[in-house]
A and B are shown apart, each in its own frame.
Chain A
Amino acid sequence: MSEHHHKETFVTKYIFSQDHKMISKQFLITGIFMGVIALFMSMLFRLQLAWPEKSFTIIEAFLGNHQTDGIMNPDIYLALVTIHGTIMVFFVLTAGLSGTFSNLLIPLQLGARDMASGFLNMISYWLFFLSSVIMVISLFVEAGPASAGWTIYPPLSALPQAIPGSGAGMTLWLVSMAIFIASSLIGALNYIVTVLNLRTKGMKMTRMPLTIWAFFVTAMIGVVSFPVLLSAALLLIFDRSFGTSFYLSDIFISGEVLHYQGGSPVLFEHLFWFLGHPEVYIVLLPALGITSEIISTNSRKPIFGYRAMVMSIIAIAFLSTIVWGHHMFISGMNPFLGSVFTFTTLLIAIPSAVKAFNYVTTLWKGNLQLNPAMLFSIGLVSTFVTGGLTGLVLGDSALDINIHDTYFVVAHFHLVMGVSAIFGMYAGIYHWFPKMYGRLMNKVLGYWHFWITIICAYGVFWPMHFIGLAGLPRRYYTNTNFPMFDDIANINVLITIFAIVGGVAQILFLANFFISIYRGEKSSQNPWNSNTLEWTTPVEHIHGNWPGKLPEVHRWPYDYSKRVDLNDDDSDYLHGKDFVPQTTPLLEGEDSS
């Protein structure tokens, strides 16, 4: 917290750093690394889905004893989808997204010298790193990694007799996740404390950028729901290793009756989804926060309906904790519960609709600076709408009966949380890269990256809705045993082609990212002419963020294109330019919005 420079060694600066800016970069790079693994896995299982009987050298090369002559085994197919989901949801979109940008932006946009506890922040990263390492190690155990789906429903996840991945692979999965949850919780507590206590002078809650609101509320959802997943995981560890029966009862497998009595898998489902559903918003809200900031800055307009945006973030967060049962309409729980969860679930459509409409209104009559970050933000709004709308179908219990666990669901959640959150993450990276590395990413590569990615994202997930409506269950190794699905073979090929082109196109991003760290154009202090405080810090990172006194805040962050006469679009800019940094004092008689 002090302003003088300590002596730094390589280890304290780059490895066990307590500086939030370095930690954010560590989160990002680890997240990108994990993302590459998970993306590669999805390309492998897409090959299997498109050409189930075809031999591939790449499968032979990577899947070792889990393949026969270049065709993957059914076990490893399930393992690939399981680990793909786990890594994407937790390691990339929770730690990689929230960890990166909460760490980078909370102190910088609030005018704080660092996180409330730099030490805990460092611990949070290293626990995340440890859990990532364990997850990667689990890929190499002999019987294969966890394969019970990313939702790891017992008894499948509890019994190695049921699927080989439920042996050592599942143990490592659980250990990794337990450590991951500890990391998330420590991070989240730190974010909350920092937001509540370390705002600079004048930075009222109502003047915080929407990014910070999103990170703050996300951290609160995490603190409420992650501990429940931890207990779910602990009880599962007990069932697996110590013979308890929390989730298991009346099981006959491999020719014998097991001793478990009185447990219920439905209990696990409740505990899992009590986190699992809020998790969707833990992933999505930071992306929406990032997008709000970027769309406003690049539209050169205030975000439309700031208060409504804050209220809808809070409403979504609150509702997200009471809708988990919509994943369980047909789990065998009391149908009355289904009615309640249908009601609360569909209510989420209201704040979500408000957000979508407000984004569109922010674009309206803007002066759009179509930087790659802006395009990814617009892409997010597009996929958020596309994916969100099908939520109205799935959230309605009566309709869910018939499309539950089909590819319709896969298409829905990939668009609304997968693609949207990834777009938010990309937008954030392109936008704040200069804040992280003092250089800018190449825009031409950024444009290529965006257009290929969005075309492929729609190419993959739009047709996927229809194979779901044809009744095709997800997590099928192949559908060749069902002649009724023979007519979707071509669609599967099409989807795989889009998936592979889209996956390979991420090389554009990787190249741009890593090369720009060293060779990118040097950034000026405020390259996007933005209002928020992070752009008042020097380009070169220093401890404590601001060389002298902390900045003082006089206004909200969205005074873009403010006019002398607010009702006259032709009048001059009030402050002579189309942006007014938060540090600019109000003029006499200026309306403070």
Chain B
Amino acid sequence: MLALFYIFIGVAIGVSFWQITRILNLRSSIANDEDNSKQGKYALLFLVFLYAMMIYCLIAMNIIMLPESASVEGEHDDILFDITFWLIGVVQFAMQFLIFYFTFKYRGNKNNKAKFYADSHKLEAIWTITPAVVLVVLIGYGLWQWNNVMDLSDEKDAIVIEVYSQQFRWDARYAGEDNMLGYGNVNFIKGINTMGVDMSDKNSQDDKQVTELYLPKGRKIHFKFRSQDVLHSAYMPHFRAQMNCVPGMVTEFGFTPKFTTEEMRLQSEVVDKSREINKIRKAKGEDPYEFDYLLLCNKICGASHYNMQMKITVVEQEEYDKWIAQQPTLSSVITQ
């Protein structure tokens, strides 16, 4: 690939110099009919190139896309995305056709006369009202979904988990038996109390600090996010979930996992994607990849921003219960 790249550069530079020296001696500056004719045809060729590239990417790159939403709330995101994507896809193909086809079709010629056509209220009304109507649908559906996702007020039996960020790692704290997180603040950071939990708060006692997320399938998870230094963003792409972590405040997001990690690994899109990835990894002599949910940092946060991740494992309820029972409570770990 690299050889190809050097060849490309070589060709580009070569062509540049050859053309520049040759062309600058031609004192031609204003398009004549011959130019119009040529450039019009190039516009048509470019349209072919553009269509070919757009279609090629749409098909060939389908495999790298994220698999279907692994959260219940994300389902409507996927539907809304599909609707929007088809809509803009159609408009994109139509508009690009018109732009470059007209460039070709109406390329200038001495014998032609342009049409004097300055205004049409009817046409303008059509293309003001049509987008407006379409937008009403998109906005309506979008806002409905936004409210669904962001409204965490009536989730009584949601599991409360704090996700805690710092340069350059993630930690998490489960709320424990009482499902209430103890108060946290940077002033309490000391020794192994790395999340700055106030151990005099009675809610803190049964909290459990972990370095990996385990989530039970089918239960609403209510995330609370904190950061101790700079902005981070907790991005969980498979769940269609993201929220910034802001020092000095607690932010929130919630979703309900729909597939366990095991189920997801058997899902056809994931199987296909993993196979492709493993082909590439094998060629490089690296260990095979197995699908896992991930939490990534998605807000520039410093030098190691690109390597700030936490594994998320979604399991059945029973397995989750077993796992959470094994985690030590904060009060048993941190002695004041």
Contact B118 A302 (CB under 8 A): yes
What are 21 inter-chain pairs, A to B, with CB distance below 8 A? A162-B230, A257-B189, A302-B116, A349-B135, A364-B102, A385-B99, A399-B80, A399-B84, A399-B142, A440-B29, A442-B23, A443-B28, A445-B19, A447-B35, A447-B42, A469-B64, A471-B238, A508-B20, A527-B29, A528-B30, A593-B118
**Smallest CB gap from B91: residue in A:** A389
Bitwise, B236-279 to A at CB < 8 A (1) or not (0) is 01101111101111010000000000000000000001001100
Closest Cβ neighbor of B142 among chain A residues: A396
Contact of A497 among B5, B106, B229, B309 (CB under 8 A): B5
Contacts of B294 in A (CB 8 A): 482, 484
**Range, interface on chain A:** 35 or more
Give bound CA distance, A475 to B301, whole Å: 10
A363 B77 Cβ-Cβ under 8 A = no
Cβ contacts under 8 Å, A482 to chain B: 294, 296, 309
From known contacts A301-B114, A354-B124, A478-B306, infer whether A404 and B88 are also in contact, taking CB-CB under 8 Å.
no
Given contacts A249-B249, A251-B186, A366-B102, 17 further A-B contacts (CB under 8 A): A155-B231, A250-B247, A304-B118, A331-B244, A349-B135, A353-B131, A361-B117, A364-B117, A367-B108, A367-B109, A370-B35, A370-B43, A401-B149, A467-B64, A471-B296, A486-B289, A521-B27
Is the CB of A338 closer than 8 A to any CB of chain B? yes
A248 and B248 contact, CB distance less than 8 A? yes
Q: B53 interface residue, CB < 8 Å from A?
A: yes
Interface positions of A from 153 to 201, Cβ below 8 Å from B: 153-156, 159, 162-163
Residue pair A486, B280 in contact (C-beta under 8 Å)? yes
Q: Contact flags (1/0) for B103-130 with A, using CB distance below 8 Å? A: 1001111001111111110011001100
B66 contacts A398, C-beta separation under 8 Å? no
Binds A, one of B8-16, B204-212, B214-222, B321-329: B8-16
Whether B170 is near chain A, meaning CB under 8 Å from some CB there, is no
Are the C-beta atoms of B305 and A475 separated by less than 8 Å? yes
Question: Which 5 pairs show the lowest CB-CB distances between chains A and B?
Answer: A249-B248, A440-B29, A471-B237, A335-B150, A332-B251
Indicate whether A338 sits within 8 Å of B30 (C-beta atoms), given known contacts A375-B39, A479-B306: no
Return chain A residues, CB-CB under 8 Å to B49: 455
A361 to B102 alpha-carbon distance, docked (Å): 9
| Inter-chain contact A74/B53, CB cutoff 8 Å | no
Q: With contacts A155-B231, A482-B296 known, is A363 near B103, CB below 8 A?
A: yes
B114 touching A560, Cβ below 8 Å: yes
- Residue B281 at the chain A interface, CB threshold 8 Å: yes
Nearest opposing residue in chain B for A401, CB measure: B242
> In the complex, are the beta carbons of A367 and B146 less than 8 A apart?
no
Nearest-Cβ distance from residue A89 to partner chain B, whole angstroms: 16
Decide: A331 near B50, CB < 8 A? Known: A252-B189, A363-B106, A367-B108.
no
Given A335-B146, A368-B103, A500-B9, check contact A445 B23 (CB 8 Å).
yes
Instruction: Indicate if the CB atoms of B305 and A451 lie closer than 8 Å.
Output: no
B113 CB, min distance to chain A CBs, angstroms: 6
B24 to A: closest C-beta gap in Å? 6
Query: What residues on B are CB-neighbors of A512 within 8 Å?
Result: 20, 24
Q: How far is the CA of A347 from the CA of B139 in the complex (A)?
A: 9
Find chain B residues with CB under 8 A from A392 CB: 84, 87-88, 138
Chain B nearest Cβ from A1, distance in angstroms? 33
CB distance from A349 to the nearest CB of B (A): 6
Q: Is the CB of B240 within 8 A of A346?
A: no
The answer to whether A505 and B12 touch (CB under 8 A), given A386-B92, A477-B306, is: yes
CA separation between A335 and B57, bound complex, in Å? 34
Q: Residues of B contacting A363 with CB < 8 Å?
A: 98-99, 102-103, 106
| Chain B residue contacts of A573, Cβ below 8 A | 113
In the complex, whether B235 has a CB less than 8 A from a CB of chain A is: yes
A156 to chain B, nearest CB (A): 4
Set A78, A149, A505, A578: member contacting B114, Cβ < 8 A? A578
Nearest-neighbor residue (CB-CB) of A433 within chain B: B29
Chain B CB within 8 A of A365 CB: yes
Quick check: is A36 within 8 A (CB to CB) of the other chain? Answer: no
Which residue of B has the minimal Cβ distance to A471?
B237
Asked whether any CB of chain B lies closer than 8 Å to the CB of A2, the reply is no
**Do A356 and B106 touch across chains, with their CB atoms under 8 A apart?**
no
CB distance from B230 to the nearest CB of A (A): 4
Residues of chain A contacted by B57 (CB below 8 angstroms) = 462-463, 465-466
Contact present for B143 and A342 (CB under 8 Å): yes
Q: How far is the CA of A94 from the CA of B220 in the complex (A)?
A: 47
Within 8 A of B (CB), among A67-90: 73-75, 78
Given the interface pairs A153-B231, A253-B167, A342-B142, the reply to whether A402 lies near B240 with Cβ below 8 Å is: yes
Contact B2 A367 (CB under 8 A): no
- Tell me, rounded to whole Å, the shortest Cβ–Cβ distance linking B255 to chain A: 10
Inter-subunit contact B61/A156 (CB<8 Å):
no
Q: Does A51 contact B (CB under 8 A)?
A: yes
Q: In the assembled complex, which residues on chain B have CB atoms less than 8 Å from the CB atom of A335?
A: 146-147, 150-151
Considering the chains assembled together, what is the distance between the CA atoms of A304 and B119 in angstroms?
A: 6
What separation, in Å, do the CA atoms of A354 and B127 have in the docked complex?
6
